[in-house]
Chains A and B, each alone.
Chain A
Amino acid sequence: MPRVLRELWRRPAGLVGSVVAVVLLLTAAVALFWTPQNPFTANPSIAWQGPSFAHLFGTDAIGSDIFSYLMAGSKTTVVVAALSAVVAGIIGIALTALGSLTSHWVREPVAVLIDILIAFPILLIAMLLSAVFGGSLAVVIVSVGIGFGVNLARVARGEVRGALGTDYVLAARASGAGPWRILARHVLPNVAPVFIVQLSLAAAVAILAEAGLSFLGYGAPSSTASWGRLLSSLQRYITIHPWSVLWPGLTITITVLGLNLLGDALREATDPRLKESRRQRRRSRAEVAR
């Protein structure tokens, strides 16, 4: 585990991504107790103020402090991102297991099912669910979970089947190792990194999905502070106040970028082929260059 972290932080992408994730978590934690101003107070007399000491990002149409609102919104972001990743992980594991570890009669239909489900973009799933339940953060989370979980299953299924086909596994089965042992020792170490990477990407996708769905009116309710809601409400006024929308836009972009970078760096850091020492790697690179 520490080796993975070292590999991760060796790369600038990993460093930046980790910093973004930590800052997000800390902001959300702090926002549980305190924000500079109350994000929900309406004070029309100070509407549309520019950045100032009291209002770091200025105020919005009804005079609420944008910075405090974004801080409060970070709680929503963390919840949505984390839960979406969890749901995606659960669905992904279930589908992966069904798609690769069961008998032929189960595997094939599951494979077809996965290929069909991939055709459903997350937004359409959310629309479908919103038609029944009405829009909500739960709908966002479940939609991302299903949409991404299916994607995750497709990626992981390839890894699992690849791992099951290796000589290691053949040898293990020949020597009588039980299925759980094979799973734990040979399949998991290959699949786990893929999963971890995909989960961080799921978190990023979830944040974008929340932004889009809140804009359409099917995301967070008005009582909940969310970055998507702020983006949506501020964009209505770009003809008269074009600058304020910068803040939620930048916040979302930087957070999503950070999580994507983290995912990319994790992918490289957890590549099992990088288990060799650095010197060995240089030598084999020179070999390949020959």
Chain B
Amino acid sequence: MIRFIITRLLLLVLGLFLASALIFFTLRVLPGDVAQVIGGTQATPAQIEAIRRSLGLDRNVFLQYADWVGGLLRFDLGDSLVTGTPVATEIAAKLSVTLPLALLSLVFGVLIGIPLGVVSAIRHAKASGAVIAISAQALAAVPAVWAGVLLISLFGLALRWLPTQGFPLDGWDQPGRAIRSLILPALTIGVIEGAVLLRFTRSAALDAIGQDYVRTAAAIGLTKTRALITHGLPNVMLSVISSLGLQIAGLIVGAVIVEQLFQLPGLGRMLVSDVGNRDLPKVQGDIFTLTAIVLLVGFAVDIAHRLIDPRQRTEVSS
């Protein structure tokens, strides 16, 4: 068990390194002179040279990378080209919006996707089961922008229950208002991710229904439904947990879009404007942070899965 954790940890670190390298070198090495782009079409060669020097682009590329990675280990991601403020500080501030948003989205997604997925599996031979499955497919096809717009129209404009934009200026000092601002955005992501989760849960549950041990559970005195729920579901949950790691990527993508749509001061929205500004150090930091989150969650999920499944915990005997 310890061996597994250590191996997985090493893989995580390796992954973080590779990700950092990919991000860094893509931004520096791909054709397209960044300094030129920042300077604009009117810049003189001297101005471009100055920009290049200020960015440290005149130094050896590997040295620049080593610098950046060294900074990463100290949680120092450099300074913004546009504002000069430390990138890490900005990211930390934005994460206080994005992380709760992602978490709330996950909660919504799980609440929608898993129960309905199980129900649609139990009733797969009936109309209700099919209706749920088809609706899930339709929902998964909806672009996030439109979903958000529909929710805004319904809950924000027509019913006026929830704010349609923005985040309170005092942030989390007013937790009630802060949460209310996150509900619609989180619901937007949650509904779409929930649809994806529903389809996955459904197929895992259909597998569980056919399992012999569910039949055994019925044979010792449980109704078929209870047998499925008490014996089949935990096994279903196990595979769903492993899929959650993949869901994170979807949550992040969703966050970028809804933060823009709902004007939330989160990491996603900052990334979009940083790319527009060609603020390299920030873009690097933003993307690395988001990727690191995905890798970390993947690591946590792998460990959790390993811990929960007794088949993988004990040394196999017999």
- A–B touch (CB < 8 A): the answer is yes
Residues of A within 8 A of B (CB): 112-113, 115-124, 127-135, 204, 208, 211-212, 215-218, 228, 231-232, 235, 238-239, 242, 245, 248-249, 252-254, 256-257, 260-261, 264
Within the assembled complex, what's the spacing in Å between the Cα atoms of A171 and B30?
47
Residues of A contacting B252 with CB < 8 Å? 121, 123-124
**B15, CB-defined interface residue at 8 Å:** yes
Residues 247-303 (chain B) with a chain A CB within 8 angstroms: 249-250, 252-253, 256-257, 260-261, 271-272, 274-276, 278, 280, 283, 286-287, 290-291, 294-295, 298
Contact (Cβ within 8 A) B142 A131: no
In the complex formed, the residue of B with least CB distance to A288 is: B210
**10 nearest CB pairs, A to B:** A249-B146, A257-B141, A256-B141, A121-B249, A211-B143, A123-B253, A119-B294, A132-B32, A131-B283, A235-B149
B209 at interface, CB cutoff 8 A: no
- Residues of chain B within 8 A of A112, CB atoms compared: 11, 14, 18
Question: Is B257 within 8 A of A212, CB to CB?
Answer: yes
Chain B residues proximal to chain A, CB less than 8 Å: 11, 14-15, 18-19, 22-23, 26-27, 30, 32, 34, 37, 137-138, 140-146, 149-150, 152-153, 157, 246, 249-250, 252-253, 256-257, 260-261, 271-272, 274-276, 278, 280, 283, 286-287, 290-291, 294-295, 298
Helix, strand, loop or mixed for chain A's interface? Answer: helix
Residues of B within 8 A of A127 (CB): 256, 271-272, 275, 283, 286-287
Q: Determine whether the beta carbon of A131 is less than 8 Å from that of B145.
A: no
Q: How far is the CA of A128 from the CA of B153 in the complex (A)?
A: 32
With beta carbons under 8 angstroms apart, the residue of A122, A124, A130, A261 that contacts B290 is: A124
List residues of chain B with CB within 8 A of the CB of A216.
256-257, 260, 272
Give CA–CA (A128, B30) in the complex, Å. 11
CB pair A124–B275 under 8 Å, yes or no, is no
Tell whether, in the assembled complex, residue B276 and residue A120 are in contact, meaning their CB atoms are under 8 Å apart.
no
Taking a contact as CB atoms under 8 Å apart, the answer to whether A116 and B294 are in contact is no
B130 CB, nearest partner CB in chain A, Å:
11
Contact of B146 with A252 in the complex, beta carbons under 8 Å? yes
Set of chain B residues within 8 Å of A232, measured between Cβ atoms: 145
Measured between C-beta atoms, what is the minimum distance from B52 to chain A in Å? 15
Does A235 lie within 8 Å of B141, measured CB to CB?
no
Asked if A131 and B280 sit within 8 Å, CB to CB, the answer is yes
A121 to B249, CA, bound (A): 6
Interface pair A249/B149, CB less than 8 Å apart: yes
